[in-house]
Amino acid sequence: MLPAPALTEEVGKVGVDWVGNDIVVEAIGDPKVQGVVCHLAYFDRSVIDRLSKGNWFEDPSNSAIECAATGPVRVGDIATGPEGEEVFSEGRSLIFKSLRVRRIFDQQNRVLIYLAHARELTEGSAKMAISTVPLDRVNP
């Protein structure tokens, strides 16, 4: 069974140059953890930038993430292994690259770790960002 998709909403868009490139900020709700929202920022290339660089189908892998408890945190049935589980995925090229957010549970320290990273079909990417949410506000 596939996990429920994360709830996403674009909450900001900032123009960064005269050719129309933007930084997009999305709020991502974790479908298995109530009371946590992550804000993911990423670069969105304009048509002019795509034409001038000759690369139509790909956006950069750069991203930033910050997660916070927005109320009482209620953890559902989450993966507890070292790989964690995917919360969000969005294509960054036609077929070869995606931007992903994974949740990893640090049981010993009672912390949820959210890792934003690029996944590429042909070669890996070292571009990543991380955010943590302590579970001191968990309701039974």
Task: Please tell me the total count of domains within the chain.
Answer: 1
In-domain check, residue 64: yes
Give residue 45's domain range: 7-134
Which DSSP string do the residues of 75-139 spell out, in sequence order? Answer: E-S---STT-EEEEEEESBSSSEEEEEEEEEETTTTEEEEEEEEEESSS----EEEEEEE-TTB-
pLDDT tens-digit map of 84-122 = 999 988 765 545 567 889 999 999 999 999 999 876 545
**pLDDT band of 83, cuts 50, 70, 90:** very high
In-domain check, residue 139: no
Whole-model pTM: value is: 0.78
